[in-house]
Amino acid sequence: IMFKRDIAAAAAPAVADSPAALTDPILLVPVCPGRVRFFS
């Protein structure tokens, strides 16, 4: 029997919108592609 358990939501990466993003490995987490508006 398998139980579904709650998993803590992953912390979203900080917005990689600064030069620090080039050096900070945390900020290098892929932030693209974006949301699909219609279908993929």
Q: CB neighbours (10 Å) of residue 10? A: 7
**Residue 15 interacting with other proteins (CB under 8 A):** yes
Q: Which amino acid is at 11?
A: A
> Counting every residue, how long is the chain?
40
**Residue 22 interacting with other proteins (CB under 8 A):** yes
* CB of 1 or CB of 32, closer to other proteins: 32
**Residue 9 interacting with other proteins (CB under 8 A):** no
Q: Cis omega before residue 33 (within 30°)?
A: yes
* CB of 4 or CB of 37, closer to other proteins: 37
Binding site for other proteins (CB under 8 A): 15-19, 21-22, 31-40
